[in-house]
Structure 1
C-alpha cells in the first residue's frame, strides 16, 4: 500500500469507527429519522457550495438514476436501519456485525465474476461465515434482539454494494458531485419525514454535538476520503477499513458507554477478521506461458497470454479515474 493509501486507510478506520458511539448517544433522544435527517442536512450544507463552485453537480446529474441508487444503498437505507438497530443493541455489537462487509463484498465480487474464487478465498469465506454464525448465534442465544441483528446484516450488504456501484458506474464522475447529489437526494426524503417526528423537548449538548460530528466529519469529510481510498486501493478492498472500524467501535463503546463484551464477540469476531483477510486478498498472477519463436517460414508467433491479474481491473481502473478529478 502506498503512503497515501495508508494515510487514507488510517483516517477512514477511525472516522467510520466513531459513528456507532455517536449514533448510540443521539438516537434515544432524537429518534432514527431526525438523526439521519440532521446528519444529511449538515453534510449537504458543507459540500453544496464547493460542488456548485466547481461545477461538479452537472456531471453527477447526468447520472442521477445511478446516483439515486447509490444514495439509497449507501445512505438512506443503511443509516436508518443502523440507527433503529442501535435502539436495542449496543454500539460495539453493531460495529462488530458491520465487520462482515468485506465478506459480503468478496461474495458479491465472486458472484459477479469480478474476482476469482481460489482456494484461499474460498477458505476465507468459509471461516468468515463460521465467525458470523458464532458472533450472532451466541449473542442471539444470550438475548440479543433478532430484528436488530437482521437490520445490521442488511446494513452490511448495503455498505458492500455502495462502493461497487461507484466503481462500476460512477468512476468517471467527480466524487464531490456524486456525494453531494446523493446526500441531497436522501435529505429530500428524510427532511419532510423528520419534521413530523421532532422530539417534544430540545436535545442536550451531547446529543447536538454527536449530530454535528456525524454530519461534518463522519459524513461530509468521510465520503471524500472514502472516494480517494477507493481510487487508491480498489472498490472491494476499500471495504477492508471495516477490519479496524469495529475495533474502534468496541473500544469506544466499552470505555465511554460501559458496554459489555460478550462471548459471541470474543469468539466470532476474530474469525470474521481472519476470513475477511483471506477472502479479500489479491490473487497471484498466473505464470505466463513461453512465447514460441517464429519458424523459418516467417509465421507470426502466437501471442502470449496477459500475465497480469485482471480480476476486478475494470472496477479499479474506473475508480482511479476519479482520483484525478479535482474535489
Structure 2
C-alpha cells in the first residue's frame, strides 16, 4: 500500500473511532433527536456542495426505494439507538460491542442468499467473536443495562445489513451523492423531534464542540476521506480499518473520559477482533497453476472497488 494509502487508512481509523467519545459527551447536554439532527444536518450541508457539481443527484430519484431503505438502516435508526444507548453505556464499551458488525455481516449474508460455505475457520470466528461479546456485555446485563446493550447490538446488525442494499440494489449509484441525500433525508426525519426537544439554554461549550465534531469531522470529513481511501487502495483493503476502530474507541474513552480499562474489556477486544478476522476471511483459492497462496480479505458486504459498501462504522 502506498504512503498516501497508509495515511488515509490511519486517518479513517481515527475519524470513525472517536464518534463514540463525542456522542457520549453530546448526549449529556442535548436530547437524542437533537444530536442526530445536528449531526446529519451539518454533514449534509458540507457534502451537498461537493456532490452537486457532478450533476448526479437527479439520477438518484429512480433509486428512491433502496436509497430510503439504506438511509433508514444505515443512519436514521442506528444513530438514534447508538446515542440512546450511550446515555448508559461507556463510549469504549459501545465501540467494542460494535466491533461485532463484521461477524453479524457474515451471518446476515448467509441468511440472505450468500452461497459461500462458512467452513471451519469462519465458523470458529463466529464462535470466538460471540464469546467476546458475551464477556463484554455480561457486566452491563447484570447491572440492568440490558436495553442499552441490545440497542448497540441492533446498531451492529443495521451496520451489517445496510451494505447488502448497496451491493444488490445501488451498485451504480455514486457514493458521495448517495451519502449527501441519505444525510438530508435523515435530517428531515429528525427535524420535528429536534425542534420539540430543543434545549432552552445554550449547551456547554464541550457539548457544542462535540456536536460540531460529530457533524464536520466524524461525518462529512470522514466520508470524503473514506471515498479517497477507496480510490487509493480499493474496497476490500480499505475496510480493514474497521478492525482498528474499536482500539481507537477504547483509547479515547480511557484517556479523555477516564473510562476504566479492565481485564474483561481487553480480553473481549482480543476475542472480538480475532473472531472478526477469522469470520470474514475468504476461503483459500487454488489456481490451476498449482499455487496455494490464500486470499484473505475482509468480507463486510463489499462491493466494487470504485465505491464504498456502506456509509458508517462502522460506523458509527
TM-score, normalised with respect to structure 1: 0.83
Counterpart in 2 of 1:297?
none
* Shift, 1:99, TM fit: 0.8
In the TM superposition, what whole-angstrom CA distance separates every residue of 1:92-133 from its partner, at most 9, and x where no partner exists? 111111111111112223333154312211111111111111
Counterpart in 1 of 2:119?
118
* Contact in 1 for aligned 2:93/2:136 (Cα 8 Å): no
1:126 and 1:258 mapped to 2: Cα distance? 31
Counterpart in 2 of 1:156?
156
What stretches of structure 1 of length at least 5 have no aligned partner?
Answer: 291-306
Counterpart in 2 of 1:41?
41
Counterpart in 2 of 1:193?
193
1:257 and 1:36 mapped to 2: Cα distance? 21
Counterpart in 2 of 1:275?
275
* Shift, 1:223, TM fit: 2.4
User: For 1:56-67, what aligned pairs fall within 5 Å after superposition?
Assistant: 56-67=56-67
What stretches of structure 2 of length at least 5 have no aligned partner?
Answer: 309-316
* Contact in 1 for aligned 2:230/2:306 (Cα 8 Å): no
* Shift, 1:242, TM fit: 3.0
1:88 and 1:51 mapped to 2: Cα distance? 37
SS of equivalent to 2:29: helix
Counterpart in 2 of 1:295?
none
SS of equivalent to 1:319: coil
C-alpha change, 1:132 and 1:149, in structure 2 (3 Å) is same
* Contact in 2 for aligned 1:172/1:322 (Cα 8 Å): no
In the TM superposition, what whole-angstrom CA distance separates every residue of 1:9-46 from its partner, at most 9, and x where no partner exists? 32221101111111111111111110110001111111
Pair 1:14 & 2:14 matched: yes
* Contact in 2 for aligned 1:101/1:239 (Cα 8 Å): no
2:182 and 2:130 mapped to 1: Cα distance? 32
C-alpha change, 1:54 and 1:289, in structure 2 (3 Å) is closer
In the TM superposition, what whole-angstrom CA distance separates every residue of 1:76-100 from its partner, at most 9, and x where no partner exists? 1111111001111111111111111
Counterpart in 2 of 1:296?
none
2:173 and 2:82 mapped to 1: Cα distance? 28
Counterpart in 2 of 1:286?
286
1:115 and 1:240 mapped to 2: Cα distance? 21
C-alpha change, 1:66 and 1:106, in structure 2 (3 Å) is same
1:264 and 1:45 mapped to 2: Cα distance? 41
Structure with higher Rg: it is 1
Counterpart in 1 of 2:178?
178
Moved more, 90-99 or 130-139: 130-139
Pair 1:131 & 2:136 matched: no
How many equivalent pairs are there? 302
Pair 1:105 & 2:102 matched: no
